[in-house]
Structure 1
Amino acid sequence: MKVSIVGVTGYSGLELLRYLKQHPFVEIVSIHSHSMNKKSLAEVNPHLRQLISLPLEEINFQKIMESSELVFLATPSGISKELAIPFVEADFPVIDLSGDFRLKEVGAYETWYGSSPAPEAIINMFDYGLAEAREKPKSKWIANPGCYATATELSLAPLLKEELILPDSIIVDAKSGLSGAGKGLSQLTHFTEAHDNMTLYKMNQHQHIPEIIQQIKIWEKAVKAIQFSTSLIPVTRGIFLTAYAKLKQPSSDEKLVQLFKDHYEEKPFVRVQEVGNYPALKQVIGSNYCDIGLAYNKETNLVTIVTVIDNLGKGAAGQAVQNLNIYAGFDECSGLDNIPIFP
């Protein structure tokens, strides 16, 4: 399958390149950058020297559609909504890694992203691409989920589907490495601010909140809201998420771990830890894996879910490739069976 990548010089675009370069059924035929197309990719990213010979090209919609069978948009929110329209109108497949096509509720995008959305008709043509919840994919246009949203939804799905938790008791505390903020410079991500530090940001305002609620309500309509906080930690990549919820009935570590194992038995990229074991960031970095551990406190009747993903892997490019595999009918693990980077 021939594909193009738009926005290849961003962190997610570079990660797409890394995964797709080893995909047995994919050929990258063109790579595109609006801001850096007058340079070679190796000039911008020396680690790719002698590995990628494709030139950085301007974004030419017709040329992309003539040479490719699908395009990845690894461009920021606010940019993708403009770039996707010509492809959708031409009935050309798109996997978008931004937040521009995730939110279906009218007015939600304006509230959470602070700008006007793509046309409603086009938004509704996109499938929400949580790969583990795409039992019946129907669209050639896929809105790849956000990194925090992916980790949160996979953490809660088994409990919500079985209606085991009190719907007003969900609390999520999520921490991300600095690559989640992209390449844009800010005081928050400046070395002197981020190094040897931890900072909470976007309290009750993170744009992934409505996306999470939208998916949660598919599984459990009684959930109206969650308490959700995000923090930056001084690592390059990875999300460490801890979710808490109160159960309707007493349970045990053994029962809950078995529930999650049963739920994800046929999902190759979700690895449920054994009782008493909890995942660490290092065991998923550089991969498309999501590792989950659970603990039950009988004194408080609370379940704690500990989940780790690579924000650039399962939280972005890895899941985008997984969605490509689902769309194209390839084995879901194609191009994604690499070992996490350790140490």
Structure 2
Amino acid sequence: MNPRDYLDLDSLLSADELAVRDRVRAFVDERIRPDIAGWYGAAHFPREIVKDLGALGLLGMHLTGYGCAGRSAVEYGLAAMELGAGDSGLRTFVSVQGSLAMKAIHAFGSEEQKQQWLPGMAAGELVGCFGLTEPGAGSDPARMTTTAVRDGDGWVIDGAKRWIGLASIADVAVIWAKAEDRVRGFLVPTSTPGFTATPITGKLGMRASIQCDIALDGVRVPADAVLPEVAGLKGPFTCLDEARYGIMWGAMGAARDSYEAALAYAQERRQFDRPIAGFQLTQQKLVDMVLEIQKGVLVALHTGRLKDAGTLSPEQISFGKLNNVREAIDICRQARTVMGGNGITLDHAPMRHANNLEAVRTYEGTDEVHTLIMGRAITGIPAFG
């Protein structure tokens, strides 16, 4: 029995899907695993791997044209799972770049905007960020206070955003603001006067990634900075669904990596003259991990097949995001207990993964928000306030 793939889920994947998975897994083994503990401990984002991710075709990999790889939803999910096994913070880079910033431009931008930004972003030569969340408007983006006001032949944007991934290293920011009583998206070069991004420090998770506060103080942009093909919250929600989809895969990658670390440790660590893997309580922990990982991967894979078929609904994405992240956190915590006190150090991955997943559990929709989305779908009655 393969302890990494108990149900032989690989048999459900095509040769092309397995090739993508194996290529990203090899990249994680070579470029991320040797250094991730140091990056995490130092709260350092390794900017040097951005072009490597582009060369591997992972940036906007599920988009077509403009230098993007045009891979399937399942292939993107498999890549997210392998990146998540390395570190959720580094998977988040790929998600923010591809599923949020690039998706917004690809889905709602003009042809000129797409040509200007997407090829460089796909190659990792340009970085984008996605400014939606505000200090006082997280789960309720309709309450955003950032505004865009017409001024001559352009717009002036004022407001603040918080927890914006990559903002301090980004070349362009997709900023969502209220403009004439509608939410509109604006492409704001981060060199624009009045745009300031300040990294958030003191984080206990996602330490190998960047999240920022953004201040927008009289930021002036031309008329053609507006994303022309969308108005209202449909725009940001479409992008959030893309990111949520990748999260359900990435969380299972973190869970699998924690389980495999716990299994290896249990087979080597001896207590009372035998490996702790031989004790019943340890085996129960490992079995519980395998059960939830295999079920979570099946949820993600089926969701990906629905997405590739064009039949996936946002409510079904909520199922995967809610279930897989919640279960992954429990798996990582349980894996840490197998390691005893040794498990709280950066010599071992599970506690790092668990800390990262606390952030993943919150962003792109909290447990509570996805519970209410599912509750509305089940009952037909909204309970959002």
TM-score by length of 1: 0.30
Structure number with higher helix proportion? 2
TM-score by length of 2: 0.27
